[in-house]
Structure 1
Amino acid sequence: MLISSVSILFQALLLLPLVHAYGHANACRTYCGNLTIDHPFALQSGCGHPGFRDLLFCINDVLMFHISSGSYRVLDIDYAYQSLTLHDPHLSNCDTLVLGNRGNGFVVEPWRSPYLTPTADNVFMLIGCSAESSLFQGFPGKHLPCRNVSGMGCEDYYGCQAWTGLGFSRLGSGYRSGPPECCSVPFEAIKAVNLTKLGCQGYSSAYSLAPLRVTGPDEWSYGIRVKFSVEVNRESYCKACEATGGSCGYDIDGLTGLCMCGSWNSTSNCDSGNSSL
């Protein structure tokens, strides 16, 4: 009996370092519905990366993404490919055109833009833009910024049921009497999708699911796919923090990096001692 007790005590002592290392590893990881919120995102103040603070909100188990242009439902977070998939309820699709300047578009605050941008294979199709729109300025005659993105664009989008009977101007890449009813562009070409400033009535957005092949716009994936990223040195810092059982966060006053180690914080990792309270 004594030998058995000593053996159990010895095994418990061996496990103590593991408890120290991993007991507080997921202090910042949370869930909203079926979505996991992990670094660089967070729902709690001080967790995650400061570039993503006050960005995500969990409302009745629905994860919402909020930027200056409006609020969007988060459909998916892909940490491996560093992307989010967003839904705007006023986004036009193949079945319905939402006009009246009701859509959010997509505009990120300047301080947040280094960390968030729509992916290169995401096409924005701007609908019903006025001839005076900045979108068409500086492009005389038949030369317009409108073009396909990852094989998706307005020429195919015009084939959707939503356009039936609307009498649109299907003039392709150029115009004479007025601009086309739809102009497809990559986000990089205009830097912000602000329907009011662009003088557009609505918009649609779709993203590629390559290598999956689709036959037409009725099979496109409608929504906004956004790439997220952080600085390389910050990524290395967080990996070192998490490797020692910490949770990566930041000081809410100075926005500098912190490694949260349970009841205390460190400016490096959880093996470095209690260096910041």
Structure 2
Amino acid sequence: MLWSLMMMAFHVKQKPIFLIIIQLINSFSTITNSQSTLCRTSCGSIPIQYPFGIDDGCGSPYYRYILACSDSQKLELRTPSGRYLVHNITYYDPHIVVTDPFMWNCQDGDNYRPTRPFSLDTSKRFKLSAQNEYLFFNCSEDKVIVKPKPIFCEHFPERCDSSCDSASYLCRHLPVCSFAMSGSSCCSYYPKATESLRLMLQYCTSYTSVYWRNVGAPQPYDQLPEYGIRIDFDVPVTTRCLQCQDQSKSGGGTCGFDTQTQSFLCLCKEGNFTTHCKDYDIARHNRNVHVIAGTVTGISAFGALGIGAGIWYIKKVRAKAPVTCGVQNNENRLF
């Protein structure tokens, strides 16, 4: 950028100095104003809202580096056990549904593939939903307690022991493909922790996850089983974030954070602030903080220095250049 300023100075004879200064200021404004536009609001058809972000510095720092948007616009969730395709995100009933390609599916039938247990980083305010139900296939009855459970346990699994229910509704009515398995045993199990999933898979051939999706119909038809893993998440709500998103304060901004200090920032079209948009008097940040996405870190300060150096250089050249009414010859040319 500084080099471009110097090159513009060589053409000082072509334009008045005030026009050059205006161009420099406009270029600098474009750079600083572009900070808030780096927060993408969707990946494919899935909306990205607070507390999540797919660009660094967007959303809440509690969920930093959790979501990734591929070049093909596929949203993925990062966990300690791998990356999983996100099926949808619901914000009013905060949860994410992901699919695990290693889990058993209807097309597998009795052909079980090598699988691995799904795990979560609980420090990220995630937890496996109680609406998940895991089906394990061909378990060793010498190692796993496989027996029918009472109906009470289907509705309140946390109040029952850790046995695997061989008479569960889902084992008898597999979603989409009830007759996909012919000679395999099945039992339903709700893990209290990721470690219990890992232990179960040591003694079972494979497993799959089914979650009960709320469809809004009258009970008992208000939920339908679908394949996938439901993950519940918390939405960190702060006063500053609410003020930042307030539409009455200059149209509202986007909640984000400084990529180095992880302190709160309100990302606005005008720049970054510590409270809300248009709050010019309280700790304005659009010229001196590390901007979001980390791709243009330090540009604001460098841009201000470049403008100052450019103006000084132009003035110096202007003072020494002879007046020739815009005519350039071998005596007054700059190079």
- Opposite residue 58 of structure 1, the aligned amino acid is C
Deviation at 1:68, TM superposition (A): 0.9
Correspondence 1:80 to 2:92 = yes
Correspondence 1:161 to 2:182 = no
1:127-176 CA distance string (max 9 Å, x none): 3455686x76xxxxxx643359xx8544554993232023x3xxxxxxxx
SS of residue matched to 2:108:
coil
Q: Hey, what does 1:248 align to over in structure 2?
A: 255
Q: 1:144 and 1:54, CA in 2 relative to 1: closer, same or farther beyond 3 A?
A: closer
Q: 1:96 and 1:257, CA in 2 relative to 1: closer, same or farther beyond 3 A?
A: same
Which of 196, 209, 218 pairs up with 2:213?
209
- Opposite residue 79 of structure 1, the aligned amino acid is Y
Q: 1:145 and 1:165, CA in 2 relative to 1: closer, same or farther beyond 3 A?
A: closer
1:78-112 CA distance string (max 9 Å, x none): 1221122211122224553563442x532112421
Which of 118, 128, 134 pairs up with 1:124?
134
**In structure 2, how many angstroms separate the alpha carbons of the residues matched to 1:190 and 1:86?**
18
Which of 238, 241, 245 pairs up with 1:238?
241
* Paired residues for 1:17-36 under 5 Å: 28-36=39-47
**In structure 1, how many angstroms separate the alpha carbons of the residues matched to 2:169 and 2:41?**
36
**Unmatched runs of 5 consecutive residues or more in structure 1:** 1-22, 137-142, 169-180
Q: 1:51 and 1:257, CA in 2 relative to 1: closer, same or farther beyond 3 A?
A: same
Q: 1:71 and 1:196, CA in 2 relative to 1: closer, same or farther beyond 3 A?
A: farther
**In structure 1, how many angstroms separate the alpha carbons of the residues matched to 2:179 and 2:258?**
51
Which of 31, 44, 63 pairs up with 2:55?
44
**In structure 2, how many angstroms separate the alpha carbons of the residues matched to 1:74 and 1:41?**
13
Q: 1:161 and 1:69, CA in 2 relative to 1: closer, same or farther beyond 3 A?
A: same
- Opposite residue 230 of structure 1, the aligned amino acid is V
Deviation at 1:44, TM superposition (A): 0.5
Deviation at 1:214, TM superposition (A): 9.1
1:246-268 CA distance string (max 9 Å, x none): 21111222322211223532222
- Opposite residue 243 of structure 2, the aligned amino acid is A
Q: Hey, what does 1:111 align to over in structure 2?
A: 123
Q: Hey, what does 1:12 align to over in structure 2?
A: none
Q: 1:247 and 1:101, CA in 2 relative to 1: closer, same or farther beyond 3 A?
A: same
Q: Hey, what does 2:229 align to over in structure 1?
A: 224
**In structure 1, how many angstroms separate the alpha carbons of the residues matched to 2:140 and 2:132?**
23
Larger radius of gyration between Structure 1 and Structure 2: 2
**In structure 1, how many angstroms separate the alpha carbons of the residues matched to 2:182 and 2:220?**
21
Q: 1:131 and 1:51, CA in 2 relative to 1: closer, same or farther beyond 3 A?
A: farther
Deviation at 1:272, TM superposition (A): 3.2
1:188-229 CA distance string (max 9 Å, x none): x224565478514322111112445799xxx73111112121
Q: 1:266 and 1:206, CA in 2 relative to 1: closer, same or farther beyond 3 A?
A: same
**In structure 1, how many angstroms separate the alpha carbons of the residues matched to 2:91 and 2:142?**
41
Q: Hey, what does 2:265 align to over in structure 1?
A: 258
What is the TM-score of this pair, normalised by structure 2? 0.56
**Unmatched runs of 5 consecutive residues or more in structure 2:** 1-33, 146-160, 290-335
**In structure 1, how many angstroms separate the alpha carbons of the residues matched to 2:103 and 2:114?**
10
**In structure 2, how many angstroms separate the alpha carbons of the residues matched to 1:125 and 1:94?**
13
Q: 1:193 and 1:44, CA in 2 relative to 1: closer, same or farther beyond 3 A?
A: farther
> Identity percentage over the alignment?
27
**In structure 1, how many angstroms separate the alpha carbons of the residues matched to 2:80 and 2:257?**
23
**In structure 2, how many angstroms separate the alpha carbons of the residues matched to 1:127 and 1:165?**
10
SS of residue matched to 2:180:
helix
Is the CA contact (8 Å cut-off) linking 1:126 and 1:184 kept in structure 2? Answer: yes
1:43-74 CA distance string (max 9 Å, x none): 11110111221121222021111211112111
Structure with the higher helix share, 1 or 2 = 2
**In structure 1, how many angstroms separate the alpha carbons of the residues matched to 2:169 and 2:39?**
39
Size of the aligned set, in residue pairs, is: 224
SS of residue matched to 1:240:
helix
Q: 1:147 and 1:153, CA in 2 relative to 1: closer, same or farther beyond 3 A?
A: farther
- Opposite residue 164 of structure 1, the aligned amino acid is S
Could you say what the CA RMSD is over the residues aligned between the two structures, in angstroms? 3.5
